[in-house]
Homo-oligomer: A and B are copies of this chain.
Amino acid sequence: MATMHDVARLAQVSVSTVSYVLTGTRPISQATREKVLAAMAELDYQPNAMARGLASRRSRILGLLMPMDERGLGATETAFVTGAAAAASAVGYHLVLSPVGGGNLDDLRRLASQRMLDGVVLMEVQLADERVTVLQEAGVPLVLIGRTGDTTGLSYVDIDFEQTVREAVAHLVGLGHRRIVYVNHSAATLASGYGPALRTRDAFVAAMTGHGLEPVMIPAEDSAAGGRAALAAAFARTPELTAVLAMNETAIFGILGELTGRGLSVPADVSVVSMVTSPQVAELATPALTAMTSPGSALGRIAIEALVRHLDGPGHERHQQLLPCALEIRGSTAGPRRPAPVSTEPSPTSGG
């Protein structure tokens, strides 16, 4: 393996000159540059990443930190990862995947102090997330996918849950639905402070009351069985429901199964909208699901790009951005069987 010394010797220049050719830190004459480049080509020289990292105190490695729990990643989270990996590689950085849960903060502290990571993208952020504090204390540049409750001074990219829910509800209301049930993540997930679950809950309440409608939310375990149970609960609570809005990508197939099991057809009897869903998953269902398509890999990409911008030019400060999910109408929504008259005006009670 050739080193800079070898290149320098062959090109008859000093080692530092070779370095300047490579990094562009100082001006180099055209003639010298070409000599050096030729020598590098001849020796098939590749800079040693470790040496470079040690001397420059920049590893060009970014971390993607995700709590890796039992059930693995959903399609949406997977898209974050692949988007981030592609983006990092495109800007000449490496991406290390680190499973660090909320539990082992010491591992995280250790990881952060190893000086191996130039910066970090944190996934699956809770509303109150100690990992953020740890990383900030360690002085590691940080971008979140998701966001904490208080985001002052933090950079993040997240889904615009408010707008997403608003559009989903508007779609259903526009079709004539009035009895809409929202199937969220589990009660435990809500209690743990999982942002998406909480934000969509609030947004749903706001959107529904904005239309003068009663917001009914049912939590569901992340499983097909959980979806079934949730649908049963929904019918118990609101027998006349005509539409379901579901946040829980896993539960939704249980919901569909249970609807079929009850002899109800989608969308003739009940319309279904899937929230924060990948097109691939939406296409799996029969009929294909009308869904709010998550900006999956874009989130990963944007997070990495914001992080790199922050590393390269320290002029840039916080990057805070919300991306809405796009409504993609497929086969699971239609007008209700007996459309009720719906005013597009907010009702008097909500005080538009």
Contact = CB atoms under 8 A, between A and B. Distances in A.
Given A61-B96, A97-B81, A284-B224, A68 B86 contact: yes
B82 A116 contact: no
Contact of A95 (B97, B114, B261): B97
Interface string A49-66: 111011000010100100
Given A50-B50, A99-B89, A72 B79 contact: yes
A46 B113 contact: yes
A102 interface: no
Stoichiometry (number of copies): 2
B82 A68 contact: yes
Contacts of A85: 68, 97-99
A29 interface: no
B94 A116 contact: yes
Interface string A211-245: 00000000000011000000000000000000000
Interface residues of A, number: 53
Nearest to A285: B253
Interface of A: 1, 44, 46-51, 53-54, 59, 61, 64, 68, 71-73, 75, 78-79, 81-82, 85-86, 89, 94-99, 110, 113-116, 223-224, 250, 253, 256-257, 260-261, 278, 280, 283-286, 288, 296-297
